[in-house]
């Protein structure tokens, strides 16, 4: 912590008050998985469904975060770690603002995911494992990144030249090969609102 001479301000509006206004709880839904596993597709489909239910929601996405807040970061191990740290802190701000924030990031390291988990009260961080075999992700290769990585044009590519630590104890696991997107979204909605809304 290099920011000395600062004191935390307490917002005059509590998260509980914001949740009351929104008529739903705030949460961080953290979708982890390999590149091409379907994280962003799932995130945006879930956002759409939540919006239709009248929920306040927002997607933080690996790609679009890197166009702005994390545009100064590359893909070294250190930069990827800093990327996830910033995303976690941003997700926390949205959570404090009362939103259901959906973060879709490869986030390959358990330790880094757990660090974000620890930012909010237990139960309010929902880790979603977007499960898909590497072979199928590589076949899909929606952005041509696996191809580039195989040609050595991308270093530190998760699943090929950098490790992915799959979640073991997560809140929910979605197999994006077995389940289509809308069924996956319904699974998540059922987890979030077991008694309906």
Selected from 77, 78, 139, 143, the binder of a copy of itself by CB under 8 A is: 143
Q: Which is nearer to a copy of itself, 12 or 169 (CB)?
A: 12
Rounded Cα–Cα distance for residues 197 and 183 (Å):
18
How many residues line the site for a copy of itself (CB under 8 A)? 57
Distance between CA atoms of residues 115 and 85, nearest Å: 8
Which single residue is written with the structure tokens 């979204």? 185
Shortest gap between Cβ of 109 and a copy of itself (angstroms)?
Answer: 18
Binding marks (x or -) toward a copy of itself, 163..192, rule CB under 8 A? ------------------------------
Starting from the edge strand earliest in sequence, which strands make up the sheet with 27-32, in order? 57-61, 100-104, 27-32, 125-131, 172-175
Nearer to a copy of itself among residue 90 and residue 173 (C-beta)? 90
Are 143 and 45 in contact by the 8 Å Cβ rule? The answer is no
Minimum distance, C-beta of residue 93 to a copy of itself, in the bound complex (Å): 7
Structure tokens at 1: 């912590």
Catalytic choice (35, 37, 40, 107): 107
**Nearest alpha-carbon partner for 101 in 36, 15, 183:** 15
- Residue 125 tokens read as 């961080």
Contact residue for a copy of itself among 26, 29, 130, 145 (CB under 8 A): 145
Binding residue (CB under 8 A) for a copy of itself from 25, 44, 115, 156: 44
What are the residues whose beta carbons fall under 8 Å from the beta carbon of 142, sequence distance 6 or more? 36
Asked if 8 is part of the footprint of a copy of itself (rule: CB under 8 A), the reply reads yes
172-175 and 27-32 beta bridge pairing: unpaired
Residue entry with tokens 């945006």: 44
Q: Is 107 a catalytic residue?
A: yes
d(CA 5, CA 96): 23
23 counts as binding a copy of itself under rule CB under 8 A: no
- If one asks whether residue 72 binds a copy of itself (CB under 8 A), the answer comes out as yes
- Write out the residues near a copy of itself by the rule CB under 8 A: 1-3, 5-9, 11-13, 17-18, 21-22, 40, 44-45, 47-48, 51, 54, 56-64, 66-75, 79, 82, 86, 89-90, 92-94, 96-99, 143, 145, 148, 154
**What positions carry a catalytic annotation?**
107
């Amino acid at each position: 912590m290099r920011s000395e001479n600062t004191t935390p301000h307490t917002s005059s509006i509590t998260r509980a008050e914001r949740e009351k206004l929104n008529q739903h709880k705030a949460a961080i839904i953290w979708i982890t998985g390999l590149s091409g596993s379907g994280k962003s597709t799932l995130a945006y489909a879930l956002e759409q469904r939540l919006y239709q239910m009248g929920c306040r929601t927002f997607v933080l996405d690996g790609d679009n975060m890197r166009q702005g807040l994390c545009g100064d970061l590359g893909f070294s191990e250190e930069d990827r770690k800093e990327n996830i740290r910033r995303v976690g802190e941003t997700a926390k701000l949205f959570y404090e603002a009362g939103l259901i924030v959906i973060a879709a990031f490869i986030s390959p390291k358990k330790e880094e995911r757990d660090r974000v988990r620890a930012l909010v009260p237990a139960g309010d961080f929902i880790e979603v494992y977007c499960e898909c075999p590497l072979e199928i992700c590589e076949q899909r290769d929606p952005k041509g990144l696996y191809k580039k990585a195989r040609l050595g044009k991308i270093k530190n590519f998760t699943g090929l030249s950098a490790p992915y630590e799959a979640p073991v104890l997560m809140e929910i696991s979605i197999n994006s090969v077995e389940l289509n997107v809308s069924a996956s979204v319904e699974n998540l909605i059922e987890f979030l609102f077991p008694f309906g809304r």
